[in-house]
Structure 1
Amino acid sequence: METVIVEKYSKEYQDEVIDLILTIQRSEFNIPISKEDQPDLSDIPNFYQSGGGNFWIAIYEQQIVGTIALIAIGNQQGALRKMFVKADYRGKGHNIAKLLLLQLTSWASEHNIREIYLGTTEKFVAAHRFYEKNNFVQIAKEVLPDAFPIMKVDTRFYKTRL
């Protein structure tokens, strides 16, 4: 049985990453969002992999099955973004989400980020449970750091301390 590999994003994976994220957003959750609505996806190195952040992909059997990103927002704080796992690879069987989150939190700790915030939609109920099981607590939008990049679709917010 192959193991899941979590590695830093590189340009060769751009089309596959965009396809994975858009498919989950549009087909699975009916969120009316396009590639053009997410310019970060066309410029991952500059958007996520500079200024203290990073972007990781989970690979299983030569295909991308998950993504996660971190933006450093200053003041020892970071924003978790673009956490997506292909439907067939969610849950305890493969532990993709857990592996991606461990990679992100480990990297954040090494880079002196002490708090991580995230925004999500009400539709991602399983994601809410996952974050809560992994020490994220729901917070009000009003207590987010000023530098936190709120997305239009975000209606629910979480925070954890490392």
Structure 2
Amino acid sequence: MKIQPIQNQYENEIIDLILNIQQKEFNVPVTLEDQPDLLNITNFYFEPGGIFLGAFIEEQLVGTIALVKFNQEAGAIRKMFVKKEFRGKEFGIAQKLLEQLIHFSTENGIQNLYLGTVTILKAALRFYEKNGFVTIEKETLPTDFPLMKPDNVFCHLKLQ
């Protein structure tokens, strides 16, 4: 497995991976129109100082994670998805993606990571909690946190 920064040239593969998981697997009522960031990854993620990572197995995109840097010391984790057949401890893809994003964050002066998700993604919530994230109330999010419409659970991780 190889993890690397990916940009607009992988747009079709990214959209296919993410929309299939959101819509078909978890029935989250979200469309491509609700996620304009997917149509311009370079401007949305990289320009403000964030990153978009892809995990590849035999040249196939099997996982993603992204960071939106929304102020000097805080970032929002977005687009954490792994294809169903590549999930679990035997592959460790989600863990490696998160670790690489945390490494990038600390190297770039980000001290706080936040994320929003939906309650039906119970395995995702357990994963984040296992990695030190604490569930917080929406009202305690930074005022400049980039909210996504379907999110109803929010988490925070203080980096060292």
TM-score of the aligned structures, taking structure 1 as reference length: 0.96
Matching of residue 45 in structure 1 with residue 25 in structure 2:
no
The residue that corresponds to 1:129 in the other structure is 126
Letter in 2 for 1:150: L
Question: What number of residue pairs does the alignment pair up?
Answer: 159
The residue that corresponds to 1:34 in the other structure is 31
5+ unaligned residues in a row in structure 1: which ranges?
none
Distance 1:132 1:92 in 2: 16
CA contact (8 A) 2:8 2:39 kept: no
Distance 2:150 2:108 in 1: 29
Deviates more, 1:37-46 or 1:67-76: 67-76
The alignment partner of 1:71 has SS state of: strand
The residue that corresponds to 1:9 in the other structure is 6
The residue that corresponds to 1:155 in the other structure is 152
Matching of residue 117 in structure 1 with residue 114 in structure 2:
yes
Q: Deviations over 1:58-87 (max 9, x none)?
A: 001211010000011114111001111111
Q: Percent identity at matched positions?
A: 50
**Structure 1 ranges of 4+ moved more than 4 A:** none
How far apart are 1:11 and its partner, in Å?
A: 2.5
5+ unaligned residues in a row in structure 2: which ranges?
none
Alignment partner for residue 143 of structure 1, among 135, 140, 144? 140
How far apart are 1:43 and its partner, in Å?
A: 0.3
